[in-house]
Amino acid sequence: MDFSIKTLDAKTSVTAIKTGVLVVGIFENRKLTSAAQALDKMGAISSALKSGDISGKPGATLLLRGLTGVAAERVLLVGLGNEESPADKSFSSAAQAAARALTTVGAADAVVALPLDKINQRDLNWAICTLVLAARDLEYRADTLKSKKDPAPTGVRKLALAVAAGDAAQARQGLAEAVALSNGMELTKDLGNLPGNVCTPTYLANTARKLAKDYKLGIEVLDRKQLEALKMGSFLSVTNGSDEPPKFIVLKHMGGKAKDAPTVLVGKGITFDTGGISLKPGLGMDEMKYDMCGAASVLGTFRAIAELQLKLNVIGVIPTCENMPSGRATKPGDIVTSMSGQTIEVLNTDAEGRLILCDALTYVERFKPAAVVDIATLTGACIVALGHHNSGLFTRSDDAHDKLAADLLAAGKASGDTAWRMPIEDAYQEQLKSNFADIANIGGQPAGSVTAACFLERFTKKYTWAHLDIAGTAWKSGAAKGATGRPVPLLTTYLLNLARKPARA
Active site residues: 280, 354
- The length of the chain is 505
Strand order across the beta sheet in which 439-440 lies: 335-337, 343-345, 439-440
Phi then psi for residue 109, to 5 deg, are: -140, 160
421: left (phi over 0), alpha (psi -120 to 50) or beta: beta
Q: What is the DSSP string of 190-223?
A: HHHHS-TTTS-HHHHHHHHHHHHHHHT-EEEEE-
Residues 6+ apart with CB under 8 A from 345: 333, 334, 335, 434, 436, 437, 439, 440, 441
Question: Pairing state of beta strands 74-79 and 61-65?
Answer: antiparallel
Residues 6+ apart with CB under 8 A from 225: none
* Cα 292 to Cα 290: distance, rounded to the nearest angstrom: 5
Residues 6+ apart with CB under 8 A from 238: 270, 276, 321, 323, 330, 349, 352, 355, 356
> Based on the number of CB atoms within 10 Å of its own CB, is 21 exposed (0-12), middle (13-18) or buried (19 or more)?
buried
Amino acid code (one letter) for 347: L
* Cα 405 to Cα 419: distance, rounded to the nearest angstrom: 10
> Based on the number of CB atoms within 10 Å of its own CB, is 284 exposed (0-12), middle (13-18) or buried (19 or more)?
exposed
* Cα 223 to Cα 241: distance, rounded to the nearest angstrom: 16
CA-nearest of 193, 3, 192, 188 to 95 is 3
* Cα 430 to Cα 433: distance, rounded to the nearest angstrom: 6
Element at 138 (helix H, strand E)? helix 124-139
CA-nearest of 40, 5, 34, 24 to 76 is 24
